[in-house]
Copies of this chain bind each other. A is one copy, B any other.
Amino acid sequence: MRTLRTEALTAAAFAPFGQVLQSPFQGDPNMNQGTAMRLDRAAALTNSRGTTCAPNLAMVRSLPQSLPLKLRLLERHPCSSQAFIPLRCARYLVVVAPSTLDGQPDWGGLRAFVAGPGLGINYAVGTWHHPFVALDQPAELALLVWEDGTARDCEEVQLPSEVTVEEA
């Protein structure tokens, strides 16, 4: 039994696992006749299976869970990045792990980030992560991933021992 303490989601801390998606605060309005600021290619979108594999923009409603939370499994999408873009949410959990040299989760490197309204994330292709966990309230989100319906869409690994996420 191991306890993982939550940490705040920042772009720097999350960089090994993907990108934090946030609208730009700074800079001159550079589009729409001076009414908007745009940051292009904010997510490293990846699809290694070519045009036979279509992008899937799915809409998800996720029911809230409570901390402390016992983790269940990690999953990864070996051929696709995966973006989560919340339209409505309170806080949500982003649990990730680095990969070992043989491509399995490095359990010692597990991290539990807490994100919230105004923040999305994009998992880099092949990044091990826990299924989405809404906290406090139901979350409504868009999800962007390239899928073709085969087993290569998603790989899952059960946790080898009990890990519980607790508030920092």
Contacts and interface: CB of A to CB of B under 8 A. Distances in A.
Interface residues of A, number: 52
Contacts of A132: 32, 36
Interface stretch (A1-9, A48-56, A101-109, A157-165): A48-56
A152 interface: no
SS of A interface (majority)? strand
A102 to B, nearest CB: 27
Nearest to A147: B40
The list of the 3 closest CB pairs from A to B, nearest first, reads A23-B140, A32-B131, A23-B61
A21 B56 CA distance: 13
Contacts of A131: 31-33, 35-36
